[in-house]
Structure 1
């Protein structure tokens, strides 16, 4: 049976966020599947808007266009879909930890996510830990939740050649050894823990600087103004991310909670040494390939960083294990698993 799958294209529009990486990667993987068996139609909003009328009305109409299944990459579906729908719920942190999010956003999603989960024919998520939380917090049967690990675009995220690395670092203005964090700068990402750890470390490693690449989503007192040894790069283009990851002495992932944490996977695919918070999803997905530290523990993070910075052999082993782990994740594999799910749902 040939499937005609609708795909909500709203996450592909600017401003892009983490879900955009999932949507783009999945569509690339789907493009490699047999066109005689699967047609994917990306449906964009009639008006590029983030407001509720698009979610509640235009998507309702979109599902009535003769699709076998309609897939939504981000949290929401129409309240009364005209065809079977699947939805990606990447995490339910707004349900378990609403204090980490702006109040209006949290209140909206705390209402929307459980309704979406119960309306969907099937739910996709990237890890078993999140799947269990969806079942618990949204009160849906476990058999409706499908764990499909996300992928990494290895045509982009790979160790760059030496010449490309040097050129990219020069373009970014990075001429000193550095520690790196990539991602939105907001409370749940643990940037405060990293900055406290950096305060402990910087006198011991005066040659290093700390580089933060990502949008400042919420006030961070320690960054107002940034200390001289902290560089804020803001948004970094995708083409420069492999250089940024590969050039780092250590990539730090200090988050208090994640659904999957694609930046860690992308860093590993670029041959980076990663130190990550010991949260369930990091332990599930990246165990054996990263150095863990206790979540929220600045002294523990400083100790972990000092250990790997002083141990070249450990850094090399972590890089090798990370590259090997990253090879097991691909958007092509994720696309095939989505396709299998859609065949079941249709």
Structure 2
């Protein structure tokens, strides 16, 4: 266990958008951000994405085994060669998430990775939360609280991550720590990029709608959007979380539409899910800072700006790196686990009590 001294932690994240592995160094004591270090992106090839897609929604079998092998190999490549690292935070690859049923499954063997890297690795961040009745997601909110302190925020604000799934963290930076009552509220808003990526792959054999170019040429079909918003998830009070494929119905709703109208309508669905979620914030945020790939989609950002009653900006507006923020988050959480600090709580995942998730593996099992 760490005793509170600053450490250089290397965090890794491979999200449900299946684009690749983000790796980033963070200097932290597990409570404060003390500096940002170097970063790296290791993309997945088309063939590798196909291996991961084949495992989605599965809990075992040959497809899961192949995806697990790929996860370890890709992360070993992404995380090798960083200097002066004390600890690694390894999220792994989520392929199935059913907190009310079978639990949550993140592929990747942290013990094997510790042997490869020759460094202690913190991993399996979500299982303890689920065992105690939590959703196991989202897990970045405690890091978002530290970011709010880092940027000097003095009023409530929201961090919106638009990855494969969208998630929102409402932060009151006036509180002294993330586990304080009223400091945080977090939940998955709904689908974000994953269904749009699936549409692009299915219809155009492209991994995503780069710069929202296809959506920009289409029209939003209101009937399909209204059917989407009838989904009961949007009325459910947080905390709440989603599996990547929980909204596969989106593809069915646009099945008869042309490519451009389908892309525009699905982008509007993802933006509308965020707007629906804002009603649950304890107080309206003064600004929304957007991270994840969705912030690079001008159509998505314009829809959010038009639909929300506060400024909507990419996190780069406050000097942060939206490509690496999730990897930094798991570096931060790794430091918290090593210090015995909580990583989630009732207001972020619905867990019954504060919990510190994560397993620590050392090289050679020592």
Q: TM-score range by the shorter chain?
A: 0.3 to 0.5
Largest Rg, 1 or 2 = 1
| Structure having the larger proportion of residues in strand | 2
**TM-score normalised according to structure 2 size:** 0.33
The higher-RCO structure (CA 8 Å, 6+ apart) is: 2
**TM-score normalised according to structure 1 size:** 0.35
| Structure having the larger proportion of residues in helix | 1
